[in-house]
């Protein structure tokens, strides 16, 4: 089930990934910024059609090999579901939940039926044509079912939203804690989707993110608390790890973590810092999750409201300042959290002798956002013998061929059943995860390897994930 939830999380990233550009256009086109109505209309066109984009994006993301025809089927499924249910009960609004259901249904049916082989399938456009037809038929019957049961589903989610409203700051804190703890498993997008796009209602607009930009004065409480952590907290943690590194390694570590800290502050992209200590020092990551929860609790309790379309970085903070409520408090709160992160991380690393970057590994380079750490340590002031990299030997393949080297480290061609990219990770379905050579992956630049069970794994490689997946697939 965890493996399937990961596929859902990866699929949800496709529609979410388009929000930054749309949000930028929408915000810059407003009268209080550049005052360009055309630009605002273009951005609003994306937000107005987000449920359709979710249905298409999720269907493509969930279908194996991101097949484009699944996108068309996802659009048809959502349209049939929403139109059919509305005809039965006009009070029904499937919205994002209907889009997610339609997208996942499409992706699953497409994967099952698009590879069927029969001479009779030529009459319906082949196996993929059959898949699209079956998706439409199933969506038709599901629309009948939704027409009957969806009011109860809506009431259940309204009850959940009411509970979150009543819990107030505690609910925001719980969300912040769960959000960070789910990141190692790649499942944070699942909970984010509900909070950002479903939770609450303001004149027909749902979700904390959407309602915030629609002018809902009660929205933004579930996003504001991220700004102090992303802009100040994690950069403070990066500074602590730099100063805690060995003197001979500090310059190299500062180059890598310094750029990661600036990225977190300016854009709100936090994974380069988080993955630098997530696996090496899980204790610190738990502290990070708790501090995130504390920030969310404090900001909500103080009535601070702010939002983002990309992430809680300085860029979104500046662009959305006029929409925020008490947004100026985020800066002093952030400075306090920055100091808190620095002190806790620095003294924890020193006291517990945590092996954060630069404390035991001699050299570090950079591929995308991930570290390359050569496997030799300092012993009595001398270097232990360096572990030789596994030789890459194949006809017409050079030793520095990254795709082939990763393929071998993952256990070879016959070990890989499915490989997909998701932002900074390779998501893998394998014959046996024990065949993964983690030491070799580390030499190649991977920041970590998550083994979910005997057949499912993730490898953290940084922003080269998409390119690397294509390179590996050339050998599959």
Buried b (16+ CB within 10 A) or exposed e, 259-288: ebbebbbbbbbbbbbbbbbbebbeebbebb
As separate numbers, helices (DSSP H) first and strands (DSSP E) second, the chain gives 20, 10
Residue the block writes with tokens 């970590």: 448
Report the residue count for the chain.
476
Structure tokens that stand for 258 in this block: 């310094």
d(CA 217, CA 431): 51
Non-local CB neighbours of 343 within 8 Å, separated by 6+ positions: 240
d(CA 185, CA 6): 7
d(CA 64, CA 73): 14
CB count within 10 Å of CB 108 equals: 16
Characterize the bridge pairing of strands 382-383 and 201-202: unpaired
Chain centroid, CA 394 distance in Å: 35
d(CA 94, CA 261): 40
DSSP H/E element including 191? helix 188-197
- Cα-Cα-Cα-Cα dihedral of 28, 33, 35, 39, to 10°? 0
d(CA 311, CA 100): 22
Query: What backbone torsions phi and psi does residue 258 show, to the nearest 5 degrees?
Result: -65, -45
Query: What backbone torsions phi and psi does residue 416 show, to the nearest 5 degrees?
Result: -100, 120
d(CA 125, CA 113): 13
Catalytic residues: 422
Quote the Cα angle for 380-386-392, to 5°.
Answer: 170
Chain centroid, CA 267 distance in Å: 14
Buried b (16+ CB within 10 A) or exposed e, 119-138: eeeeeeeebbbbbbebbeeb
């Amino acid at each position: 089930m965890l493996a399937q939830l990961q596929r859902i999380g990866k699929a949800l990233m496709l529609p979410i990934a388009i929000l930054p550009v749309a949000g930028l256009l929408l915000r810059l086109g407003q009268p209080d910024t550049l005052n360009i109505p055309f630009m605002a209309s273009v951005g609003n066109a994306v937000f107005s059609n987000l449920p359709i984009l979710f249905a298409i994006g999720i269907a493509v993301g969930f279908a194996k090999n991101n097949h484009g025809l699944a996108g068309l089927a996802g659009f048809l499924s959502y349209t049939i579901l929403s139109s059919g249910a509305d005809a039965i009960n006009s009070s029904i609004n499937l919205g994002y939940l209907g889009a997610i259901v339609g997208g996942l249904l499409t992706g699953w049916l497409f994967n099952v039926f698009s590879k069927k082989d029969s001479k009779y399938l030529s009459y319906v456009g082949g196996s993929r044509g059959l898949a699209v037809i079956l998706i439409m038929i199933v969506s038709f019957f599901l629309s009948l079912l939704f027409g009957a049961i969806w009011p109860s589903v809506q009431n259940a989610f309204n009850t959940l939203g009411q509970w979150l409203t009543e819990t107030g700051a505690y609910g925001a804190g719980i969300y912040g804690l769960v959000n960070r703890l789910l990141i190692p498993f790649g499942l944070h997008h699942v909970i984010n989707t509900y909070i950002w796009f479903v939770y609450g209602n303001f004149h027909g607009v749902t979700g904390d993110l959407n309602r915030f930009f629609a002018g809902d004065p009660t929205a933004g409480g579930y996003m504001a608390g991220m700004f102090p952590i992303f802009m100040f907290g994690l950069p403070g943690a990066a500074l602590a790890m730099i100063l805690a590194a060995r003197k001979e390694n500090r310059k190299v570590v500062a180059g890598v973590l310094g750029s990661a800290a600036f990225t977190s502050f300016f854009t709100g992209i936090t994974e380069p810092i988080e993955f630098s200590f997530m696996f090496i020092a899980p204790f610190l990551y738990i502290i990070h999750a708790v501090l995130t929860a504390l920030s969310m609790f404090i900001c909500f309790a103080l009535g601070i409201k702010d939002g983002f379309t990309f992430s809680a970085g300085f860029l979104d903070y500046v662009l959305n300042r006029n929409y925020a409520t008490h947004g100026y408090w985020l800066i002093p709160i952030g400075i306090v959290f920055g100091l808190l992160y620095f002190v806790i991380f620095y003294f924890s690393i020193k006291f517990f002798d945590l092996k954060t970057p630069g404390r035991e590994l001699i050299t570090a380079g950079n591929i995308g956002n991930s570290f390359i750490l050569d496997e030799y340590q300092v012993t009595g002031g001398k270097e232990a013998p360096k572990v030789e990299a596994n030789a890459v030997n194949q006809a017409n393949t050079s030793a520095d061929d990254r795709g082939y080297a990763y393929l071998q480290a993952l256990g070879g061609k016959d070990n890989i059943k499915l490989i997909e990219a998701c932002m900074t990770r390779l998501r893998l379905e394998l014959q046996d995860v024990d065949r993964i050579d983690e030491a070799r992956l580390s030499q190649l630049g991977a920041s970590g390897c998550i083994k979910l069970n005997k057949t499912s794994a993730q490898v953290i490689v940084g922003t080269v994930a998409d390119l690397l997946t294509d390179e590996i697939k050339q050998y599959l």
